[in-house]
Structure 1
Amino acid sequence: MFRFLPLPEGALCLIAATAFCAEYLLFYFHSTSHKGLEGYYHLILVLLIGLCVVSSVAGALLPTSFPVDLTNGIAITLQGLWFYQTAFSLYGPMMPDGCQLTGDQIACGSAASRVRGELLANFQLFSLVLGVLVAVVVSYGYAASRHGRS
């Protein structure tokens, strides 16, 4: 591809950063209409998209940096997993106790139910971060043992 359209190093990361910026703006303005538990899940999503923007810009500035590329991959993975987590939690079988989908909004019966749902969202995010980091460390260890230098 670069043979037909020569691009400077890091240009692809800059293109990805603009795409993530557009996604950030879309979800940022979309999230203003969501309140309560649904708004909290959307806030976490917006933060993860922001992390994708920052890591993509860093990849454009430091195109040969392995840690930056790894961070970008982790951020994109977490964003994708959070989409699924949001779908399962708010619109699927993992709805927190005391909250329910009524019409097109998530309604929690009490403030305690909403707080419990937000704490569950924090735990889910922590679990995803921990799971991705363990997968990265195991994958890196395997790759280093098979293809690394002694």
Structure 2
Amino acid sequence: MFRFLPLPDGALSLVAATAFCAEYLLFYFHSTTHKGLEGYYHLILVLLIGLCVVSSMAGALLPASFPVDLTNGIAMTLQGLWFYQTAFSLYGPMMPNGCQLEGDRIVCGSTVSRVRGELLANVQLFSLVLGVLVAVVVSYGYAASRYGRGELGR
């Protein structure tokens, strides 16, 4: 592709950052209609999309940086996983106790139920972050042991 349309380094990251900006605006304004527990899950999603915007912009500024590329990949992975987590938690079998789907809204019976659901969302996000970081470290360790240069370890 670059043979026919030569682009400067980081141009693809700039295109990705533009797409994430559009997604950020879409979910930011979409989330204003959601309150309570559903609003909290959407807030976390908007924060993860913001992380994708920032890491993509950094990729445009530093196109040869491995840490920036790794951060961008982790941010995109977390965003995708959070979409699934939100679906399972709010519209599937992982609905917090005391909350239920009524029509097109998530309604919690009490403030305690809503706070419990928000704390559960924090635990779910932490679990996803920890799981992704463990997967990255294990993958990096495997790749380094299999394809790494031996003289660097000596």
Normalising by structure 1, what TM-score?
1.00
**Runs ≥4 in structure 1, deviation > 4 angstroms?**
none
- CA distance in structure 2 between the partners assigned to 1:62 and 1:140 by the alignment: 21
Structure 2, unaligned runs of 5 or more: none
Q: In structure 2, the residue corresponding to 1:6 is in which secondary structure?
A: coil
Shift of the alpha carbon at 1:149?
1.1
**Corresponding residue for residue 84 of structure 1:** 84
* 2:102 corresponds to 1:102: yes
- CA distance in structure 1 between the partners assigned to 2:59 and 2:29 by the alignment: 26
**Corresponding residue for residue 68 of structure 1:** 68
* 2:125 corresponds to 1:125: yes
**Corresponding residue for residue 42 of structure 1:** 42
CA RMSD of aligned residues (A): 0.3
Q: Which amino acid aligns with 1:95?
A: M
Q: Which amino acid aligns with 2:12?
A: L
- CA distance in structure 2 between the partners assigned to 1:149 and 1:110 by the alignment: 58
Normalising by structure 2, what TM-score?
0.97
Identity %: 89
Paired residues in the alignment total: 150
- CA distance in structure 2 between the partners assigned to 1:94 and 1:6 by the alignment: 48
- CA distance in structure 2 between the partners assigned to 1:39 and 1:52 by the alignment: 20
Cα deviations across residues 95-140 of structure 1 (Å, max 9, x unaligned)? 0000000000000000000000000000000000000000000000
- CA distance in structure 1 between the partners assigned to 2:72 and 2:97 by the alignment: 34
- CA distance in structure 2 between the partners assigned to 1:91 and 1:6 by the alignment: 45
Cα deviations across residues 48-96 of structure 1 (Å, max 9, x unaligned)? 0000000000000000000000000000000000000000000000000
